Amino acid sequence: MADDIDREPVTPDSPAPAAPPRRRRRWLWRILAVLILGPAIVVGLWIAITLNFSFSSGERAGYVQKFSRKGWICKTWEGELAMVNIPGTMPEIFRFTVRDEAVAREIDQDMGRRVSLSYDQHRGVPSSCFGETEYFVTHVRAVGEDNPLAPPALPAPPAPASTPAPAPR
């Protein structure tokens, strides 16, 4: 009851109540920081892990049939490699992404030639901003003939059997 005596009565003319103590404001800022920065840090770590650690790596050989720079904001090089195992059969298509400009220039120069692409597979990349596929090409090398337009070499026909020349008489 002693508290009631020391307090002044509240009237319509009395000033507004004092602002909440600073301690309460600090807690509010900390909660907001955790709610905003927490998910941002988690997403940033997820992106860093998926882009820096590969799930698998390997090589595929074939003919690059499509290669273009795509994206509205984040531009990446996207391509398709036609892998033909047996001539005359339907090719299997390998879709890939290139993040390195030097590798993209090499692939562009080797269009139409048989190439071997070395790649790393990064699973779980959270956005298509880093590439539309999970296969990121890291190296390219031309395979086979130097002239991409030359028809495949056919084996030489067997030489006619030579008959011994008749002996002079």
6-56 per-position pLDDT tens digit: 566 666 666 666 655 666 677 888 888 888 888 888 888 887 777 777 788
CATH of the domain at 59: 2.40.50.140
> Does residue 43 sit in the same domain as residue 72?
no
| Residues 70 and 104 occupy one common structural domain | yes
b/e burial code for range 71-83 (CB count within 10 A of at least 16 → b): eeeeebbbbbbee
Tokens describing residue 121: 């597979």
On the question of pLDDT at 163 being above 70, the answer is no
Is residue 157 in some structural domain?
Answer: no
Would you give the DSSP letter of residue 113? S
Residues 40 and 84 in one domain: no
SS3 133: coil
Domain span holding position 65: 55-142
Measured distance CA(163)–CA(123) in Å, rounded: 68
User: Is 58 within 8 Å of 119 (Cβ atoms)?
Assistant: yes
Q: Is residue 78 predicted with pLDDT exceeding 90?
A: yes
Question: Is this structure's pTM higher than 0.85?
Answer: no
